[in-house]
Structure formats: C-alpha cells, structure tokens
Amino acid sequence: MLHINQDTLFSAGKGTVNGGSLLVWDLRGSMSFENIVEKEKNQDIFSMASQNGILYYGTRDHFVRRMKIQNNETLLPFQPPHMDTVTGLATFGDYLISGSKDKNLRLWSL
C-alpha cells in the first residue's frame, strides 16, 4: 500500500515472517529515494489516508492509528477499536470514515 502527502511517501502492508511496518520516504531531490524512518514494526497495515498533517492508518489489530507527518510522532489510536481488521479509510470534510472486516463503518471527527 502506498500513500503520498506532499513530498513524503508512506509504504506499508501485510508483513511476512517478521511482520509488516510503516516506512516513510523523502521524495525531495534526486530520484534515489531515501527511507527516512521505519515505524510500527511488526504491524500489518491495510489502509492509509491523510488530512491536516496527520497520517491515519488501519491495522490488523482493529485500530485506526495516527501519526503526525511533520515529525513522525505517533499519536494515540482512535477509541473504541473495530472488532476486526481495518481495511479502508477515507476522509470526508472534517471526518474520517473507517471500514472493517467486522462489516461496520465508523465516522470519526477530525
């Protein structure tokens, strides 16, 4: 899974033996992109969206997690979690909509 916000690329996905992770890439400069940080080691990530400088990502452990894009600071996840893997995220105005394998949608105020 890939998500771009300005000059930053986020890549994530389902892991292998060692699990997944969230990688942050700097797209400025030459075409030899550099991985600038690895977050969420051993966390399977199935969806991403961003708004107002925050990256939102849905995980296998049922949470919608978030991170400040400017400094890669991890923030507390939204509560309560879904009852299954979060597979979809979309922004709509000042809201985030999350979809899950639990067959529910949740509307989060940003």
Which amino acid is it at 21? S
Q: Is pLDDT at 105 greater than 70 in this prediction?
A: yes
pLDDT in tens, 71-92: 999 999 999 999 999 999 999 9
Q: How far apart are CA 1 and CA 52, in angstroms?
A: 20
Confidence of residue 94 (pLDDT cuts 50, 70, 90): very high
User: Which of the two residues, 43 and 35, has the higher pLDDT score?
Assistant: 43
Q: What is the mean pLDDT of the chain?
A: 89
Chain centroid to Cα 15, Å, comes to 14
Classify domain 2-109 at the CATH topology level.
Answer: Methylamine Dehydrogenase; Chain H (2.130.10)
Confidence of residue 66 (pLDDT cuts 50, 70, 90): very high
Q: Is the dihedral of CA 70, 18, 12, 51 positive or negative?
A: negative
